[in-house]
């Protein structure tokens, strides 16, 4: 049930703020409430679900938080990539490379949610190489939050588009290229390169997300966060 509910949340099938109705889910999937409650506990630990008094709700999405999410994601990316470059083993490298190749394969297959999952898996394989669960747990939470925001902005790319969209193709190609550079920096134990690439990689995602939010704001009543228009990437150092 954990994977099912998690996918529904990341795909926005369960919209932000939705009450998780244990009874209806149990009936729909022909299971007892026990695995559902266990799944909810896991989802709370990932920041995808919150407790609201006696009910569980899908965690809300607040675009006003985007600049702060970005700052947290950049800082945690820099930490986990620096530590991975210092502490990685050959086994770690093999897993990172495997996850990198899986992401590339997902890009060609064209399933948006699976592509996001593969991207998170790649970055979490790096986080695990640092062997500090305090950093990796926080990093995973930021990655999942960022994935939900991206999903909300790029829902039209959802489950059926791969590299057919020109702008998307360019973005995925650059993402794959940067993944390769990150892998090579960690392989070579180049801590400074791993640090610099963490900033560049988050800038890539943030720039695309920022354009999408501005576009949506101009086409609808979405209110832009005031500090997004002038937000700048943090400098290395």
| Residues 95-108 pLDDT 10s | 999 999 999 999 88
Q: Please give, one letter per residue, the 3-state secondary structure of 1-44.
A: CHHHHHHHHHCCCCCCCCECCHHHHHHHHCCCHHHHHHHHHHHH
| Residues 120-161 pLDDT 10s | 999 999 999 999 999 999 999 899 888 888 887 776 544 444
Token reading at 187: 């392989």
Which domains can be identified in the chain, with CATH numbers? 2-58 (1.10.10.10), 63-219 (1.20.120.530)
2-10 vs 112-129: helix crossing angle, rounded to 10: 110
The one-digit pLDDT tens for each residue of the chain (237 residues) are 998 998 888 878 898 999 999 999 999 999 999 999 999 999 998 889 999 888 999 998 888 888 899 999 999 999 999 999 999 999 999 999 999 999 999 988 767 778 888 999 999 999 999 999 999 999 998 998 888 888 877 765 444 444 457 888 899 999 999 999 999 999 999 999 999 999 999 999 888 887 777 665 554 444 444 444 444 545 455
């Amino acid at each position: 049930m954990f994977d099912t509910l998690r996918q529904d949340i990341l795909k926005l099938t369960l919209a932000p703020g939705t009450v998780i109705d244990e009874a209806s889910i149990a009936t729909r999937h022909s299971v007892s409430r026990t695995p559902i409650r266990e799944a909810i506990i896991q989802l709370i630990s990932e920041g995808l679900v919150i407790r609201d008094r006696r009910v569980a709700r899908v965690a809300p999405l607040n675009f006003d938080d985007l600049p702060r999410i970005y700052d947290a994601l950049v800082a945690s990316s820099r930490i986990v990539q620096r530590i991975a470059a210092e502490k990685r083993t050959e086994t770690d490298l093999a897993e990172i490379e495997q996850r990198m190749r899986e992401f590339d394969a997902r890009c060609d297959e064209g399933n948006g949610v699976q592509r996001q999952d593969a991207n998170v898996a790649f970055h979490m394989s790096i986080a695990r190489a640092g062997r500090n669960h305090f950093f990796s747990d926080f990093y995973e939470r930021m990655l999942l939050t960022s994935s939900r925001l991206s999903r909300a902005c790029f829902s039209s790319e959802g489950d059926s588009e791969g590299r057919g969209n020109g702008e998307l193709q360019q973005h995925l190609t650059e993402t794959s290229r940067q993944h390769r550079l990150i892998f090579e920096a960690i392989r070579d134990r180049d801590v400074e390169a791993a640090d610099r690439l963490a900033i560049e990689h988050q800038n890539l995602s943030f720039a695309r997300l920022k354009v999408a939010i501005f576009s949506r704001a101009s086409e609808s009543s979405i209110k832009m966060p005031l500090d997004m228009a002038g937000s700048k990437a943090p400098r290395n150092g």
